[in-house]
Amino acid sequence: MKPFAGLAVLLLVAGCSQAVKSTDPYAGLDAAIRAWKTTLAASEISCKRAPPGERCDTFEVACKAQRAITPQEQASGVSAKLVADMTWSGFDDKGAPQPASAVALFEKANGAWARSPAKPVNPDSCADL
């Protein structure tokens, strides 16, 4: 019976090593938001105005809210859609500290997140303005 026990252990190990597919429609969103923050820090005008030795900081997602997925979007593979508002401490044209923010629409289609610009939202609720 020992050969069967060894086979059972091998099957158990093989089963554990297979990737578990997530059923969370928002899986991967945190990485997409971190990438957005990195892009903002590198390209946003309020960050480019930073005086020498300074940089934008205190990046924070003020709100996230689901958006409706149309039947056409669903047919093209969109499984999640939301808007997010991010705030940070940037700089004005004279290099003085100034609050800044940006809004983006995130869509997950066929397992991959895409980001696009979005209209301003209420930073407390993410409701459209």
Q: What is the pLDDT of residues 68-114, one digit of tens each?
A: 999 999 999 999 999 999 999 999 999 999 999 999 999 999 999 99
Among 93, 87, 116, 115, which residue's Cα sits nearest to residue 45?
Answer: 93
Residue 64 lies in a domain: yes
The model carries a pTM of 0.81
Q: Does an H or E element contain 48, and which? A: helix 45-48
pLDDT value of residue 8? 44
Close Cβ partners of 40 (under 8 Å, ≥ 6 residues apart): 47, 56, 59, 86, 88, 102
Per-residue DSSP letter, 94: T
Residue 7 lies in a domain: no
Residue 19 lies in a domain: no
Residue 81 lies in a domain: yes
Residue 88 lies in a domain: yes
Which residues is 109 bridged to in the sheet? 78, 112
Instruction: Find the domain containing 41 and state its range.
Output: 26-117
pLDDT value of residue 21? 64
Residue 13 lies in a domain: no
Residue 31 lies in a domain: yes
Structural domain total, the chain: 1
* pLDDT above 80 (res 7): no
Mean pLDDT of the chain: 89
Cα R_g (the chain), whole angstroms: 22
